[in-house]
Amino acid sequence: DSGVTQTPKHLITATGQRVTLRCSPRSGDLSVYWYQQSLDQGLQFLIHYYNGEERAKGNILERFSAQQFPDLHSELNLSSLELGDSALYFCASSKRSGGAGETQYFGPGTRLLVL
């Protein structure tokens, strides 16, 4: 158990809908990272938040957004869902901003299925 929690574990929804994925980092960690794992794209970085502020964006669609709250938990919002958004979404956390090559610890993931 990495100490990173993600809810829900599974999510089934329909095209066009909106969902919110939640992540709680390890105790004391200030950075949260979101990754998407899909069959065709592999594991891809989406976005990084440090202590409530966005630090970096990767291949994140405009339909997707995220935020990190004062208690350091983070939410990833996916809207206007398409079949291709079906994937495993991971959250990871690290202690600081990651400048020293900090190890990222991954949560169990949320499996999203869009029908």
Partner 1 sequence: AQTVTQSQPEMSVQEAETVTLSCTYDTSENNYYLFWYKQPPSRQMILVIRQEAYKQQNATENRFSVNFQKAAKSFSLKISDSQLGDTAMYFCAFMRANNAGNMLTFGGGTRLMVKP
Backbone angles phi, psi at 83, to 5 degrees: -55, -35
Q: Residue 28 has which token pair?
A: 């004391």
Among 66, 105, 112, 114, binds partner 1 (CB under 8 A): 105
Q: Residue 46 has which token pair?
A: 């989406």
Q: Which is nearer to partner 1, 18 or 96 (CB)?
A: 96
Q: Does 42 bind partner 1 (CB under 8 A)?
A: yes
Q: Does 89 bind partner 1 (CB under 8 A)?
A: no
Among 33, 74, 93, 112, binds partner 1 (CB under 8 A): 33
Q: Which is nearer to partner 1, 29 or 48 (CB)?
A: 48
Q: Does 22 bind partner 1 (CB under 8 A)?
A: no
Angle at 50 between CA 44 and CA 56, to 5 degrees: 40
Among 58, 80, 82, 84, binds partner 1 (CB under 8 A): 58
Q: Does 75 bind partner 1 (CB under 8 A)?
A: no
Backbone angles phi, psi at 7, to 5 degrees: -135, 145
Q: Which residues of 65-99 are buried (b: 16+ CB within 10 A; e: fewer)?
A: ebebeeebebbbebeebeeebbbebbbbbbeebbe
Binding site for partner 1 (CB under 8 A): 2, 33, 35, 42-45, 48, 55-58, 88, 90, 92, 94, 97-106, 108-109, 111
